[in-house]
Amino acid sequence: MARCFIGIMMPECSKAKITSIQNSLRRLPIACKMVERENLHLCLSFLGEVEENEINEICRKLDEISQRYKQFDADASEIKFIPNEGYIRVLALGCSNPLLETISKNIKNEIDGDAKPPHITLCRVKSIEDKQKTIEDIKKIDQDAGKFTVSSIQLIKSELRETGPIYSVIHESKLS
């Protein structure tokens, strides 16, 4: 069994901007665990525990889905409160290209998984002091991580360790 998700590992040029946003969040009274720079990714669908004998079929279907799309640009530019501002478990950057949502829905329908709107997790929140003021302060942060090019989609394995997860790309499906 392997814990897996389907996503897009972020390019280095985007990671610098995203870590700058994370650094702004670190200055706020939020108890959280930031996603490590090397693990920054755009999540399309969380699959959970996958049997080893299912991985080849997932890769084949991911290749089929990827071939329907040409390379495109996406924009990461707005902090999202997941599931909502009343109960914040995750702070993430939303991505505004409708193609990402279409691809995510195709993955959910043809492969499965838990498909949330495409997002880049910044941190997992444990607690927030003075939530209303902190939310206001979050909204004042420069949230523009800029554009990045989507040229492939990856099946990614997540190994949980005491020091945090280690992500490794199992399969990469190039867009046409």
**What is the secondary structure of the chain as a DSSP string?**
-EEEEEEEEPPHHHHHHHHHHHHHHHTSSEEEEEPPGGG-EEEEEEEEEE-GGGHHHHHHHHHHHHTT---EEEEEEEEEEEEETTEEEEEEEEE--HHHHHHHHHHHHHT-SB-PSPEEEEEEEEEESSHHHHHHHHHHS----EEEEE-EEEEEEEE--TT--EEEEEEEEE--
pLDDT above 90 for 16 = yes
Q: Does residue 171 have an active-site annotation?
A: no
Per-residue pLDDT of 81-96, as tens digits, reads 999 999 999 999 999 7
Percent above pLDDT 90 for the chain? 88
User: Residues 15, 119, 157, 171: which is the catalytic one?
Assistant: 119
The stretch 30-35 carries a mean pLDDT of 96
Domains of the chain: 2-174 (3.90.1140.10)
User: Residues 15, 41, 80, 157: which is the catalytic one?
Assistant: 41
pTM to 2 decimal places: 0.92
